[in-house]
Amino acid sequence: MIYKIKPSASKKFIDVSIIVKSQSRAIINMQLAAWRPGRYELGNFAKNIRSFKVLDANNNKLSFKKITKDLWQVNTLFSETIEIQYQYFANELNAGSTYVNEELLYVNPVNCLMYDTDNIEKPSTLYIDVPDNYKIACGLKQVGNNLFEAKNFHEIADSPFIASVNLKKYSFKVDDYNFYICIQGNCTINHDKIICDFSGFAKKQIAAFKEFPVNEYYFLIHALPYHFYHGVEHLTSSVNAIGPAHSLMHERYTDLLGLCSHELYHTWNIKSIRPQEMYPYDYTQENYFKTGYVAEGVTTYMGDYFLLASGVFSKEQFLKEFSEQIQKHLDNYGRFNYSVAESSFDTWLDGYTPGIPARKVSIYTEGFLLAFIADILIRKHSKHQYSLHNVMYALYHDFYKNNKGYTENDYKNLLEKFSGISFDEYFEKLVNGTHSYFELLNEALIFIGLELNIFPSEHCHENNYGIKLTEQSDKIIISGIHPELAENSYLNTGDQILAMNNHPVNNDIGKWFNDYNGNDIEIQVTNNFGTKNVKLLFKENAYYKKCVVSECKTLNHEQTLNFEKWLNP
């Protein structure tokens, strides 16, 4: 197939053309993906298509009909070739979307390119029709001016690109592998620092696996003018959307490093190492799987771990990130109701929205903690001979390289193989159950000379009254409600606080709560359904806590040695 993409005269659309050989078929089925790998929910991208039509080689219109919401059946009339044309709405900019404006064409092909269901494994070419002064960054093999080729649809679907006048491009090498950092947006880059840090964590990850799955890799970075954080993995690239752009090398630099290290590790874990349920991908429907704690959780842990092991992160930076993961775990009371394996299965239902109160957990956060616990258990019981790296190395070399997906049982067997102990309780209680993580987590931390400290929240509205607050456009918004209050009051997340004890509140909400701290408080809140008064009862140290991971106050030689060995993959 030959794909052609160009910005449309309609400012918020792109024009798509697909030339398909009929191969003497009377009927051709053209499928658009219902979801995109890397986000385990239905995207229903067909809702963005308009002006669909089919032409024969002589420009005559051919008939077609829709079979499902995203499957078109075309009557070829035995034409040797047909051309499918349509417009795709491209007005959303995140790490997994498609977007166009007067100086940028950014496309995730899985969003907007259909495939011939009979020829999904056949080679394709992609022509990007943009002005000559545009620079293009794409992980596909370039074979001509703005022309790229792919060995099959899977490869073209997995190769986003940025075409822009203002694209900044930097490069570095690790061993024989070429890396490119391509940045779109109005930001100032410290070239030496970003190359040093990116090459540092990339080198450490490659050394752990002893090879990289591809010869060239692109970090595609959207430096956005507003606060944003989102990344999506691909085999030869990742898309990383982050903002504000002016803070990219300053306040947001740690976040940029964490995001890009995470997405790079995905090149092995989920783009190569893949659960059996996604081997191969079925783009037409949900690909349910329970091992999101491996796909995303291990990746979240390893992404931060390799930043520390490479020296890109200081110990303080890593412990800050670690503390934030435990904080998310502690604040999510869904941990009492739904296991991480169940939550993985249900990403297809509501995995990327808060959902109803205390229903589910995050495969990223819970998976991070489970990966750390498993890593330390292996190291402890093998006397540092093995680690979680050996498990992932085996999944890559023994499964991916033999064209196999893995199951939960395969992962469990590898954990047991390298640790020499049973992981039955780990899976029964922590992975597939709702047992507390804290006993094993504390033991794992202490093994490497770290400790978990849990304090009352420094905010009295969190600690004594059970609500979390944020400021949005000069409004005080309730962003979290402790479960004890959530089901026994008329408060909802998203409510705006208007007054406290009949006094209108200003933006310094902490001061107001501090002034009344120790007493019951009546707050006036408003939402789309009206305004109401709600009484908050003072309960000292009853609600939200704060987690801090720090070095043990008294370290022994064995803990110090364990920490040093832990930093050696």
CB distance 498 to 507 below 8 Å: no
Give the per-residue pLDDT at 166. Answer: 94
Q: What is the mean pLDDT of the chain?
A: 96
Task: State the pLDDT at residue 473.
Answer: 80
Per-residue pLDDT tens digits for 399-444: 999 999 999 999 999 999 999 999 999 999 999 999 999 999 999 9
pLDDT tens track for 196-239:
999 999 999 999 999 999 999 999 999 999 999 999 999 999 99
Comparing CA positions, the residue from 258, 316, 232, 360 lying closest to residue 551 is 316
List beta partners, residue 478: 469
**pLDDT at res. 137:** 98
566 DSSP 8-state letter:
H
- Name 470's Cβ contacts closer than 8 Å, sequence gap at least 6: 476, 477, 479
**pLDDT class for 130, splitting at 50, 70, 90?**
very high
CA distances from 300 to 255, 261, 295, 392, 482 (A): 13, 9, 9, 14, 26
Tell me: pLDDT of 488 over 80: no
Residue 195 has pLDDT above 90, yes or no: yes
Predicted model pTM: 0.95
In this prediction, residue 141 carries a pLDDT of 97
The answer to whether residues 366 and 336 touch, using CB atoms and an 8 Å cutoff, is no
Please answer whether residues 83 and 52 qualify as being in contact, where contact means their C-beta atoms are separated by less than 8 angstroms. no
Helix (H, G, I), strand (E, B) or coil at 161: strand
Mean pLDDT of 79-98: 97
- 314-349 tens-digit pLDDT: 999 999 999 999 999 999 999 999 999 999 999 999
The token duo for 485 is 């209050």
C-alpha 133/C-alpha 360 separation (Å) is 48
Q: Residue 110 has what pLDDT?
A: 98
Extract the tokens encoding 234. Answer: 């691909």
| Residue 435 neighbours by CB under 8 Å, 6+ apart | 429
Residue 489 to residue 492: CA distance in whole angstroms:
9
Q: What is the pLDDT of residue 434?
A: 98
d(CA 92, CA 70): 20
Cα–Cα distance between 314 and 306 in angstroms, integer?
11
pLDDT tens for 243-275 read 999 999 999 999 999 999 999 999 999 999 999
pLDDT of residue 206: 98
285 confidence band (pLDDT: 50, 70, 90)? very high
Cβ atoms < 10 Å from Cβ of 516? 20
Distance CA(303)–CA(265), nearest Å, equals: 6
pLDDT given for residue 122 in this prediction: 97
> What is the pLDDT averaged over residues 340-361?
91
pLDDT tens, position by position, 517-553: 999 999 999 999 999 999 999 999 999 999 999 999 9
Respond yes or no on whether the N-terminal peptide bond of residue 354 is cis (omega within 30° of 0): no
Which pLDDT value is given to residue 550? 97
Q: Collapsing DSSP states into helix, strand and coil, what is residue 11? A: coil
- How does strand 530-536 pair with strand 503-504? unpaired
Tell me, what's the pLDDT at 512?
Answer: 79
Name the percent of the chain lying above pLDDT 70.
100
